[in-house]
Amino acid sequence: MIKTDDIRSFYLIQKPSYNRVLYSGGKVTIQEICSFFDIGGKYVGCKELSTGIINSTYHVEYIRDGERKDYIVQKINKTVFKNPKKLMDNIVRVTEYIRGNVILNELSTKRFVLRAFVTKKDRKPYWKDDTGEYWRVYRYIKNSITYDATDNLRIIQRVGQAFGRFQDFLDGFNAKTLYVTIPDFHNTPKRYKAFRAAIKKDPKKRVKWVAKEIEDLNFYEERASLLQRYLDEGRLPLRVTHNDTKCNNVTFDKDTDEALAVLDLDTVMPGAVAYDFGDAIRFIANNALEDDPDTEKVSLNLKKYEAFTKGFITELKEDLTSFEKKTMNLGVFTMTVELAVRFLTDYINGDKYFKTKYPGHNLDRARNQIALAKDILRKTDDIDKILAKYI
């Protein structure tokens, strides 16, 4: 969990040195990067945040008219996102659309929708440095926090509400006009294809360590491929989906615990609503964090499942087709298996995609998700019953 207080105390302690934070390997400081954007005030300091495992993220503090202003600076991971300009174009269009609905619903645009700042010089929502890296700056929502994990069912229900509302606010946005930031992102059969290619190549000679995991995932392939088939056959509508619905992508008011804006819009693309539902559940309703190496701790928490489902489905059920409703739990299984496949593929390939903190981190993540998929299958009847209550 990122607590604003922790960040504040960090600034106080570190004051003499933090102005000099450089981004890894580069020549330009975070302070200089900020100076290219149209944000008012005076730079105070910054701290790197480590929650995301793709982009590099910094929390920056400014002072304007005696008042503290906070921003989020990010370096966009170009290996993952091949076209940062088009990605930012998506984000600007999506946030503008949401902003319209936030206003219609008489909510605060400073709190309920992300804002990307433009550069002073050419009014672009990104700045490109000498080495070709792309940077962007977002408003840090005042007095907000995010949760990496929580046992609080009220918070979990509100995470569901926030992602449901996100979908709902984007209702009517033509999904087909969005640039596809990562092609086939949730195309599970293609993820399996890449998995098989990695096994065949075995560049780090790691396959011999993971025979059991490969066997488990192969066993799940058929079932985990159904959702994509329904999409291909046109049985499921393509919607604008978030595609990375981890609970730490929802901001909360620190004092009232009200759910505010949804973050991390890099993978907003056309998709199935069950992706968003499933990805959120596999993260928030796992009794362990997604990278907990102790698989004994991994299981699907039915109370958490219910809390999220209540929040999400209540916001959305009017918009969903009856077949969509039926595929929600298939989404939970599919997304869990898909993440297991992606983590194991990356382990086999030598940890090239996800940031890792130690050797074997991706393997621990994969084992964790496999254990969760097993538990989801065991609890199919339970979750079907709970879902039926809300749809």
331 contact choice in Mg ion, ligand GN1, none (CB below 5 to 8 Å, kind-dependent): none
Please, which residue, 68 or 86, has the CB nearer to ligand GN1?
86
Please, which residue, 32 or 89, has the CB nearer to Mg ion?
89
Q: Which residues bind Mg ion (CB under 5 A)?
A: 244, 264
Please, which residue, 101 or 241, has the CB nearer to ligand GN1?
241
- SS3 readout for the chain: CECHHHHHHHHHHHHHHHCCCECCCCCCEHHHHHHCECCCCEEEEEEEECCCCCCEEEEEEEEECCEEEEEEEEECCCCCCCCHHHHHHHHHHHHHHHHHHHHHCCCCHHHHCCCECCECCCCCCCEECCCCCEEEEEECCCCEEECCCCCCHHHHHHHHHHHHHHHHHCCCCCHHHCCCCCCCCCCHHHHHHHHHHHHHHCCCCCHHHCHHHHHHHHHHHHHHCHHHHHHHCCCCCCEEECCCCCHHHEEEECCCCCEEEECCCCCCEEECHHHHHHHHHHHHCECCCCCCCCHHHCCECHHHHHHHHHHHHHHHHHHCCHHHHHCHHHHHHHHHHHHHHHHHHHHHHCCCCCCCCCCCHHHHHHHHHHHHHHHHHHCHHHHHHHHHHHC
80 contact choice in ligand GN1, Mg ion, none (CB below 5 to 8 Å, kind-dependent): ligand GN1
Q: How far is the CB of 100 from ligand GN1 (least distance, A)?
A: 26
Q: How far is the CB of 15 from ligand GN1 (least distance, A)?
A: 30
Please, which residue, 244 or 292, has the CB nearer to Mg ion?
244
Q: How far is the CB of 12 from ligand GN1 (least distance, A)?
A: 28
Please, which residue, 57 or 295, has the CB nearer to Mg ion?
57
339 contact choice in ligand GN1, Mg ion, none (CB below 5 to 8 Å, kind-dependent): ligand GN1
107 contact choice in ligand GN1, Mg ion, none (CB below 5 to 8 Å, kind-dependent): none
Q: How far is the CB of 257 from ligand GN1 (least distance, A)?
A: 23
Please, which residue, 39 or 133, has the CB nearer to ligand GN1?
133
53 contact choice in Mg ion, ligand GN1, none (CB below 5 to 8 Å, kind-dependent): ligand GN1
Q: How far is the CB of 139 from ligand GN1 (least distance, A)?
A: 19
Backbone torsion region of residue 158, taken as left when φ is above 0, otherwise alpha when ψ lies between -120 and 50, otherwise beta: alpha
Please, which residue, 36 or 252, has the CB nearer to ligand GN1?
252
198 contact choice in ligand GN1, Mg ion, none (CB below 5 to 8 Å, kind-dependent): none
Please, which residue, 241 or 327, has the CB nearer to Mg ion?
241
Q: Which residues bind ligand GN1 (CB under 6 A)?
A: 52-54, 80, 244, 264, 267, 290, 339
Q: How far is the CB of 23 from ligand GN1 (least distance, A)?
A: 17
102 contact choice in Mg ion, ligand GN1, none (CB below 5 to 8 Å, kind-dependent): none
289 contact choice in ligand GN1, Mg ion, none (CB below 5 to 8 Å, kind-dependent): none
Nearest to 334 by CA among 229, 240, 196: 229
